[in-house]
A and B are shown apart, each in its own frame.
Chain A
Amino acid sequence: MSSAPSRTGGESAEPDASPVAAFLRFYAPVRDQVVAGLRQRLGARTPGVDPHADALIEVLEHRALDGGSWASLAPLLERRDVLFVEDCFSRWASGMGAFRDAVLEHGPSMEVVVGLGRYTDQVLGQLGAEQLRRERGRVDDSQRQIRALVAAIDASSDAMLAKDLDGIILSWNRGAEEVYGWSADEAVGRNVVDLIVPEEDRENHDGVMASLRAGQDVPNHDVTRVRKDGSLVRVSLAVSSIRDDEGRPIAASATARDVTEARRNEHRLSAILDASLLGIVILDADGVIQRWNRGATALLGWERDQVRGTAIRDLVVGQTGSFDKAWAELVGSRRTLQLRRADGGAQPVELGVERFDEHASYACFLLDRSALHEALDELEARARELERSNEELVEFAYVASHDLQEPLRMVASFSELLLRRYGEELDERGQMYAQYAVDGARRMQGLVNDLLNLGRVDSQGRARAAVDPAPLVRAALEDLGPDLDGVEVDVGELPPVMADPQQFTRVITNLVDNAAKFRSELPPRVVIRAAPAEGGFVRFTIEDNGIGIDPRHQDRIFDMFRRLHGRDRYPGSGVGLAIARRIVHRHGGRIWLESTPGQGSTFSFTIPGVP
């Protein structure tokens, strides 16, 4: 081996005369033998070894012909893209040190060639291992990328899976585990049809697979899938084919997003929209109708399919020229517009516009102005009617009082005149009759007056003002004068109220009169208190130590002409509390009673305080 001419061999201008030529002649059969041996060893598992062996031969020829260094072989090896299956080399990777060094030092020579006869497979292995190491470096890079990719795929909450064209699952990410409930271990190797495609979707799925085999991608569409626990999940699915270098479909990747919740929300939104009596229209950023609820259909007659995709401005009657400007002003406010109806008419509509979501779409709320107007008109008509009937009532009360009083006065006056003028000519019984007639007529007149007073609570009420109740209460007590004879009246601090002073005084008068009237055996005592109550009201209490009122009668005591006792014992027409109640109600307050028979009564009422 020491006589190896390797360093000069490649420099010969005449190949035939060079040792290279000899080498080639010598080598050719060796090569065949080498290749045959390789085939035998690797054949079944590495059918592509031929080009690799060819590569080596080419390398050697190149080296021999050009006399280049081994180092220059590297690009060549790369060019041929030599790649060996790992386990082919693991067996040959050892024990190459010395020979490799010889080859590297001396280049191909006769000795090398002879050596090759024994070591071709080792050389191949060594070279292959070198190559593989390089490849691995490359693979490491790409593996890092792949690992990142896989991590990204795994981190995705979308289900991502690869399947072959028969539907056998090749890969299954964590998103798929979450969406479908099956782990990757359980899923890979099984057919998607058996695993997650429900009975009713199989036909559709077959169609998808057919499309994939035909090389067509399947765009986003919603399908139902079965989870491991048997529950159904609605997913938005996109499937695309994976192709080989020649573009033939060999597999498919499927990405699925769980849209169960989104679709449920969608349905809820639709249900809410449709349940609304308002017309609600959702527009995109360009004002094009996306959604159209039943309320809008009811209002304008357009079915949703007729208007979906139409710009709202095309529905506005008139003023389209200035609509864009008007539209900008409309957002966040409301205004009345005329919208085109399906029957060709114009519908007055109160339109409110709000930003709907971050996609710059809008929600329009349509209120039927005509219905609103009708309702308002009706309300107004009713109010007028009520007012008129109230006026009639007041008029009636006035006329009735006048017309009822006339004959009453006649009866009372002439009975009395009769009694005076001719009383002496009547016997005792006759005088009694006349006296009854006078009494009856007077009492009747009292009732008519009370009725009139009750009517005047509404007809002659004055404006409310902030008033100090203290002087009004004093006036009421003075008013009652002799009726309060012997009654101890205790008045506390009284906060100011918003009231018609005259009517307020009347309430106090009537309640104190009532309290003083129904005395028990105890020395009569009336306690008047007031304190702020909830809602800005002031609560007044008038407490007595009188006979009290049976609970059975408590709720009726405020009724008109309600008397619980004979008038011999407790005079009065029974209208005082009715008037008090009407006045309190007119002020927006309420009046009630707490009482225990034999222990006295407490009347309470509320009246607005001064804000």
Chain B
Amino acid sequence: MQSIDVLLVEDNPADALLTREMLEASKVHIDLRVASDGAKGLEEVDRQVPDLVLLDLNMPGTDGREFLAQLRAQEHTRRVPVVVLTSSTAERDIIQSYDLGANAYVVKPVGFEQFEQIVAAVEGFWFTVVRLPPKP
């Protein structure tokens, strides 16, 4: 069974749980790894380059911005798609994230419906662009 290797870099366990819950409802097979800060996230990347990174920005220690900067600085990881997943709606965070090479900026959804739409969009990418088969 083909699955997507997703690395979630997120310090808040509740958020990590919420994201896991949402992704589990996805029609795509997802292997989710969770790193609790940027440094650990980079270690996970070193172990295996993920298909997709879901990245929180504000974390203790190495934060999402440094993680993103380093990811884009390494040749073998520079093309990994990164979706910034944050609660910040500040313009400066949005601009900075895209400047650093984020592929998408998603404000952490409040309600389920929003989350479902995001997941559906992600699924659409994998089904149509990467041509993964859906879950049986």
Q: Which residues of A contact B (CB under 8 A)?
A: 398, 401-402, 405-406, 408-410, 412-414, 416-417, 420, 438, 441-442, 445, 449, 452, 460
Q: Does B129 contact A (CB under 8 A)?
A: no
Q: How far is the CA of A364 from the CA of B110 in the complex (A)?
A: 71
Q: Are B18 and A413 interface neighbours, CB within 8 A?
A: yes
Contact of B91 among A408, A409, A460 (CB under 8 A): A460
Are the C-beta atoms of A452 and B89 separated by less than 8 Å? yes
Chain B, residues 76-102, CB within 8 Å of chain A (1/0): the string is: 000000000001111100000000000
Q: A414 and B110: CB pair below 8 A? A: no
Q: A409 near B88 (CB under 8 angstroms)?
A: no
Shortest Cβ distance from residue B16 to the other chain A in the assembled complex, whole angstroms: 12
Chain B positions within 8 Å of A408 at CB level = 110
A402 touches which one: B88, B91, B111 (CB < 8 A)? B88
Q: Are A412 and B110 in contact (CB under 8 A)?
A: yes
Measured between beta carbons, the chain A residues less than 8 angstroms from B18 are: 410, 413-414, 417
In the bound assembly, the distance between CA atoms of A460 and B112 in angstroms comes to: 30
Asked if residues B21 and A445 are in contact (CB atoms below 8 Å), the reply is no
Q: Is the pair B87, A420 in contact by a Cβ cutoff of 8 Å?
A: no
Determine whether the beta carbon of B110 is less than 8 Å from that of A409: yes
Indicate if the CB atoms of A414 and B89 lie closer than 8 Å: no
Residues of B within 8 A of A401 (CB): 89-90
Bin chain B's interface residue count.
Answer: 10 to 19
Q: Does B12 contact A (CB under 8 A)?
A: yes
Known: A402-B58, A406-B12, A410-B14. A416 touches B91 (CB 8 A): no
The smallest C-beta distance from B17 to any residue of chain A, in angstroms, reads: 9
Q: When the two chains form their complex, are residues A398 and B90 in contact, meaning their CB atoms are under 8 A apart?
A: yes
**How far is B86's CA from A401's CA once the two chains are assembled, in angstroms?**
12
A409/B112 in contact, CB under 8 A: no
Q: How far is the CB of B91 from chain A (nearest CB, A)?
A: 6
Residue of B nearest to A398 (CB): B90
- Chain A residues closer than 8 Å to B112, beta-carbon distance: 413, 416-417, 420
Bound-state Cα–Cα, A460 to B58, Å: 21
Query: With contacts A406-B12, A414-B14, A417-B21 known, is A445 near B110, CB below 8 A?
Result: yes
Lowest 3 CB-CB distances: which A-B pairs, in order?
A: A416-B112, A405-B87, A412-B110
CA distance A406 to B58 in the complex (A): 11
| B-side contacts of A416, CB under 8 Å | 111-112
Interface of A is mostly: helix
Residues of chain A within 8 A (CB-CB) of B90 are 398, 401-402
CA separation between A200 and B123, bound complex, in Å?
A: 113
Q: What residues of chain A lie closer than 8 Å to B14, measured between beta carbons?
A: 410, 414
Query: Which of chain A's residues have a CB closer than 8 A to the CB of B15?
Result: 409-410
- Bound complex: CA A401 to CA B115 (Å): 20
B108 at the interface (CB under 8 A from A): yes
Residues on B with C-beta less than 8 A from A417 are 18, 21, 112
A442–B110 contact, CB under 8 A? Answer: yes
Q: With a CB–CB cut-off of 8 A, which chain A residues contact B21?
A: 417
Shortest A442–chain B CB gap in Å is 6
The answer to whether B89 and A409 have CB atoms under 8 Å apart is no
Give the shortest distance, in Å, between B115 (CB) and chain A (any CB).
8
How far is it, in angstroms, between the C-alpha of A150 and the C-alpha of B91 when the chains are bound?
Answer: 97
Q: Which of B88, B89, B110 contacts A413 (CB 8 A)?
A: B110
With A414-B14, A417-B18 as known contacts, state yes or no: A442 contacts B111, CB within 8 Å. yes
Q: Could you pull out 5 A-B pairs where Cβ atoms are within 8 angstroms?
A: A409-B15, A410-B15, A413-B18, A416-B111, A452-B89
Known A401-B89, A409-B110; 10 more pairs at CB < 8 Å: A398-B90, A406-B12, A409-B87, A410-B14, A413-B115, A416-B111, A417-B112, A441-B110, A452-B89, A460-B91
Contacts of B88 in A (CB 8 A): 402
In the bound complex, residues from chain A placing their C-beta under 8 Å from that of B58 are 402
> In the complex, which residues of chain B have a beta carbon less than 8 angstroms from the beta carbon of A413?
18, 109-112, 115
Minimal Cβ-Cβ distance residue in A for B90: A398
Which residues from chain B contact A441 at a C-beta distance below 8 Å?
110
Closest residue of chain B to A420 (Cβ to Cβ) is B112
Measured CA separation A202–B6 after assembly (Å): 117
Q: In the complex, what residue of chain B is closest to A460 when comparing beta carbons?
A: B91
Cα distance A412–B87 when bound, in Å?
A: 13
A405 contacts across to B, CB distance below 8 A: 87
Q: Looking across the interface, which residue of chain B has its beta carbon closest to that of A446?
A: B110
Q: Report the Cα distance A286→B134, complex, angstroms.
A: 103
A448 to chain B, nearest CB (A): 10
Give B6-40 interface residues, CB cut-off 8 Å to A.
12, 14-15, 18, 21
- CB contacts (< 8 Å) of B109 on chain A: these are 409, 413
List of A residues within 8 angstroms of B110 by Cβ: 408-409, 412-413, 441-442, 445
Give Cα A406 to B89, complex, Å.
12
Residue of B nearest to A452 (CB): B89
Task: For A406, give the chain B residue with the smallest CB separation.
Answer: B87
Q: Chain B residue with minimal CB distance to A416?
A: B112
Docked CA distance A398–B115 (Å): 23
Which residue of A410, A412, A449 is within 8 Å of B89 (Cβ)? A449
How many Å lie between the Cα of A413 and that of B91 in the bound state?
Answer: 24
Closest approach, in angstroms, between the C-beta of A575 and any C-beta of chain B? 16
A449 contact set on B, CB distance < 8 A = 89
Shortest Cβ distance from residue B127 to the other chain A in the assembled complex, whole angstroms: 24
A288 to chain B, nearest CB (A): 66
Tell me, rounded to whole Å, the shortest Cβ–Cβ distance linking B113 to chain A.
9
Chain B residues contacting A438 (CB-CB under 8 Å) are 111
Question: Distance in Å from the Cβ of B48 to the closest Cβ of chain A?
Answer: 29
Contacts of A402 in B (CB 8 A): 58, 87-88, 90
A445 to B114, CA, bound (A): 14
Q: Taking the nearest CB of chain B, how far is it from the CB of A475, in angstroms? A: 19
Which of A406, A412, A441 neighbours the largest number of chain B CB atoms within 10 Å of its CB? A406
Contacts of B111 in A (CB 8 A): 412-413, 416, 438, 442
Look across to chain B and name the residue whose beta carbon is closest to the beta carbon of A442: B110
Give min CB distance, A400 to chain B, whole Å: 12
Closest to A403 in B: B87
Point out the residues of chain A lying under 8 angstroms from B115, CB to CB.
Answer: 413
CA of A452 to CA of B87, assembled, Å: 13
How far is it, in angstroms, between the C-alpha of A449 and the C-alpha of B110 when the chains are bound?
12
Q: Which residue of B lies closest to A405 (CB)?
A: B87
In the assembled complex, the CB of A413 is this many whole angstroms from the nearest CB of chain B, namely 5
